[in-house]
């Protein structure tokens, strides 16, 4: 029955203003990005990619959503180049907020790009062979389903679907907005009012201008279109309970009276709980991206004061990657979430770094102000009008011109009369749900490509460790000096300082062993010329370490005995390396 309803809604949408945004064509590989994918189509797409590339992919069921829908992750991994957890992991999810649709498209595009380019592009092949990608295109699967299946504004249906009594009447989610005109979007209602706070712009009556002090308006805005469904005298006051999926993670979480949308306790949402367990089950994840919209930003932690300042070495990693992100996605800004934007508690990036030590990002996709432009060269020279929304009518008129001439009106529907059961004669009009926070299709391709490339650039810079024996020298009767070198050619270290400092996971180990040999001293070599070494007091055969990005670390061991010795390196992020060498009696003292 649900499938039938979904198909019915799609058919309705195909006849309306949003027709260019969606498609009911069968999903084939390579994927098409000439439309937005519904939840069912996302599932179909990851299954199609898995079927087309079974040797490189695995489809994981991350868990079930709050309404019982499947949350899938497509894992991209070449088992012929090593075991999964012996490679750096890159985690990506999208659409944690139900209305942030293009986030899912970036994730799908990246999957499609990596798989379809694997055989033809050697750099892509190397990236796939060296890493493991864990990609959940849609985390808030309930939200995405309802965004397509139900009428919405561009900003509604953001929450995870946990019932909540917004109006405290003992009922839950009983008074949603209503699509009164049946166009598939929830728009605005307005009514003529000689004492209203708005007047119509004389150049374009679609634009409403707030009047100033002492001025008399002629219109009142009544809010989102809808009726009083529960008969309590209020309209649209109890839609889906607002629980923000990006405020429900278990680090520096705060209750609702401090952080709106936090839920009753961390990981209350089934979707967020499933994602947390999935991430923790893959200790090789070194970098992570939670794709959002909008604003054109790459945000890093900290998001709140609980974490304090990040260690300098970790900031340097973020700075290197963030600066490149600004080049890869022009106009986007690399920012610190809690300092440059606003403070938020219980969010993804803080949990990823604070509890897991993982370098995590929130890309905020799309810049409506810079993208939906309609100006002549002379107009471009003029200063931007100040204000936002109805306090900036000139910007509103420019966006309307963009919709009129570049989408032939598909982003905005003009005001039309409606006889409301409470308000009487009103008008309904405004932006469609596939507008404002997401690009029209003709702008989508560049957005998803550039942001996918930013993720792939980070994957190119996950820890890439080599192990070599830098020298073996006989220094006495049955006594050997063995020097090793571990080099990391990636920007991301084999362990963040946050993880090292707070012991969030096991440290890298370098171990020397042999059947006929014993390590009697060992430690980090600081000067290869003077032999200055910090020898470890206990268990010298096992060294604990981390390798910074673009760096190397050398060790010196004094080994007693003969025969073969095995030198092995093991790291959550850097993988495993080993080499066997022989202590030869013919070596020079």
As a whole number, mean pLDDT of residues 354-379 equals 95
Q: What integer pLDDT is reported at residue 175 of this predicted model?
A: 72
Spatial distance between the Cα atoms of 119 and 355, rounded to a whole number of angstroms: 37
As a whole number, mean pLDDT of residues 31-45 equals 97
As a whole number, mean pLDDT of residues 181-201 equals 95
pLDDT at 19 over 70: no
Spatial distance between the Cα atoms of 283 and 225, rounded to a whole number of angstroms: 47
The side-by-side arrangement of strands in the sheet containing 563-571 is 542-545, 508-513, 563-571, 575-583
Q: What integer pLDDT is reported at residue 10 of this predicted model?
A: 38
Q: Prior bond to 294 cis, omega within 30?
A: yes
355 vs 240, more confident? 355
As a whole number, mean pLDDT of residues 44-69 equals 98
Helix axes 441-460, 312-328, angle to 10 degrees: 140
Spatial distance between the Cα atoms of 236 and 227, rounded to a whole number of angstroms: 7
The CATH classification number of 465-583 equals 2.60.40.10
pLDDT at 12 over 80: no
Average pLDDT taken over every residue of the chain: 92
pLDDT at 589 over 50: no
Q: What integer pLDDT is reported at residue 274 of this predicted model?
A: 98
pLDDT at 140 over 50: yes
pLDDT at 16 over 70: no
Q: What integer pLDDT is reported at residue 167 of this predicted model?
A: 64
pLDDT at 563 over 50: yes
How many Å separate Cα 53 from the centre of its chain? 24
As a whole number, mean pLDDT of residues 150-162 equals 93
Provide the residue ranges of all domains of the chain, joining segments of one domain with +. Answer: 2-149+242-255+264-291+443-459, 188-239+369-431, 465-583
pLDDT at 1 over 50: no
Name, of 5-19, 174-188, 369-383, 454-468, the range with top average pLDDT.
Answer: 454-468
For residue range 506-551, what is the model confidence (pLDDT) as tens digits? Answer: 999 999 999 999 999 999 999 999 999 999 999 999 999 999 999 9
For residue range 287-320, what is the model confidence (pLDDT) as tens digits? Answer: 999 999 999 999 999 999 899 999 999 999 999 9
pLDDT at 232 over 50: yes
Spatial distance between the Cα atoms of 98 and 140, rounded to a whole number of angstroms: 6
The side-by-side arrangement of strands in the sheet containing 479-488 is 465-476, 479-488, 551-561, 517-525, 533-535
Residue carrying structure tokens 């892509």:
124
As a whole number, mean pLDDT of residues 437-453 equals 96
CB 174 within 8 A of CB 68: no
Confidence of residue 389 (pLDDT cuts 50, 70, 90): low
Q: What integer pLDDT is reported at residue 20 of this predicted model?
A: 64
- What's the N-to-C CA distance of the chain in angstroms? 82
Q: What integer pLDDT is reported at residue 383 of this predicted model?
A: 81
Nearest 5°: the CA angle 231, 233, 239 is: 70
Please list the alpha-helical segments (H only) found in 282-415. Answer: 312-328, 348-356, 368-371, 377-381, 393-406
For residue range 204-226, what is the model confidence (pLDDT) as tens digits? Answer: 999 999 998 989 999 999 999 99
Looking at the domain 2-149+242-255+264-291+443-459, which fold is it?
Answer: Aminopeptidase (3.40.630)
Q: What integer pLDDT is reported at residue 470 of this predicted model?
A: 96
Confidence of residue 235 (pLDDT cuts 50, 70, 90): confident
Q: Give every CB contact of residue 296 below 8 A, 6+ residues apart in sequence.
A: 329, 331, 332, 333, 364, 365, 366, 367, 370
CB 445 within 8 A of CB 468: no
Confidence of residue 390 (pLDDT cuts 50, 70, 90): low
Lowest mean pLDDT among 165-174, 198-207, 213-222: 165-174
Q: What integer pLDDT is reported at residue 386 of this predicted model?
A: 66
Q: Cβ of 530: how many Cβ atoms within 10 Å?
A: 8
pLDDT at 145 over 50: yes
């Amino acid at each position: 029955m649900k499938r039938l309803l979904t198909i019915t809604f799609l058919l309705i949408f195909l006849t309306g203003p949003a027709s260019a945004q969606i498609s009911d064509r069968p999903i084939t590989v390579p994927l098409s990005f000439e439309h937005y994918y519904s939840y069912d189509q996302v599932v179909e797409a990851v299954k199609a990619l898995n079927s087309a590339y079974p040797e490189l992919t695995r489809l994981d069921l991350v868990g079930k959503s709050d309404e019982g829908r499947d949350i899938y992750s497509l894992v991209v991994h070449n088992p012929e180049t090593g075991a999964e957890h012996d490679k750096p992991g890159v985690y990506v999810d999208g659409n944690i907020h139900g209305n942030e649709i293009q986030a899912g498209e970036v994730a799908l595009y990246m999957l499609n790009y990596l798989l379809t380019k694997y055989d033809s592009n050697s750099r892509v092949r190397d990236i796939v062979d060296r890493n493991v990608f864990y990609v959940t295109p849609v985390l808030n699967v309930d939200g995405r389903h309802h965004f397509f299946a139900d009428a919405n504004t561009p900003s509604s249906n953001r929450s995870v679907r946990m019932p909540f009594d917004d109006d405290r009447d003992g009922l839950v989610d009983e008074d949603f907005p209503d699509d009164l005109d049946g166009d598939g979007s929830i728009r605005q209602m307005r009514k003529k009012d000689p004492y209203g706070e708005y007047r119509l712009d004389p150049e374009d009556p679609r634009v409403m201008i707030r009047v100033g002090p002492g001025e008399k308006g002629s219109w009142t805005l009544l809010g989102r279109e809808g009726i009083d469904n529960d008969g309590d005298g209020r309209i649209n006051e109890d839609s889906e309970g607002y629980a923000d999926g990006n405020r429900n993670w278990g680090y520096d979480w705060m209750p609702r009276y401090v952080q709106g949308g936090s839920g009753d306790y961390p990981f209350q949402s089934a979707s967020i709980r499933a994602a947390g367990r999935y991430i923790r089950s893959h200790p090789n994840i070194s970098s992570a991206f939670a794709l959002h919209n909008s604003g054109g930003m790459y945000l890093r932690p900290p998001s709140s004061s609980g974490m304090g300042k990040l260690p300098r070495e970790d900031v340097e990693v973020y700075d290197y990657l963030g600066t490149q992100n600004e080049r890869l996605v022009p106009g986007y800004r690399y920012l610190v979430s809690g300092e440059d934007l606003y403070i938020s508690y219980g969010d993804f990036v803080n949990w990823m770094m604070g509890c897991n030590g993982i370098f995590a990002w929130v890309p905020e996709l799309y810049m409506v102000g810079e993208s939906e432009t309609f100006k002549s060269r002379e107009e471009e020279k003029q200063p931007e009008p100040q204000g936002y929304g109805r306090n900036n009518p000139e910007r509103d008129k420019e966006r309307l011109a963009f919709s009129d001439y570049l989408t032939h009106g598909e982003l905005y529907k003009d005001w039309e009369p409606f006889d409301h059961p409470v308000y009487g004669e009103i008008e309904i009009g405004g932006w469609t749900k596939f507008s404002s926070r997401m690009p029209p299709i003709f702008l989508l391709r560049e957005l998803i490509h550039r942001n996918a490339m930013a993720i792939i650039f980070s994957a190119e810079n996950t820890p890439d460790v080599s192990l070599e024996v830098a020298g073996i020298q006989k220094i006495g009767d049955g006594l050997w000096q063995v020097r090793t070198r571990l080099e990391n050619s990636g920007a991301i270290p084999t362990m963040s300082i946050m993880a090292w400092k707070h012991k969030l996971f096991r440290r890298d180990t370098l171990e020397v062993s042999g059947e006929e040999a014993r390590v009697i001293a060992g430690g980090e070599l600081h000067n290869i010329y003077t032999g200055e070494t910090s020898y470890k007091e206990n268990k010298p055969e096992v060294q604990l370490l981390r390798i910074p990005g673009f760096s190397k670390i050398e060790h010196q061991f004094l080994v007693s005995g003969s025969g073969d010795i095995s030198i092995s390196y093991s790291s959550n992020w850097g993988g495993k390396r080993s080499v066997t060498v022989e202590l030869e009696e013919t070596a020079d003292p």
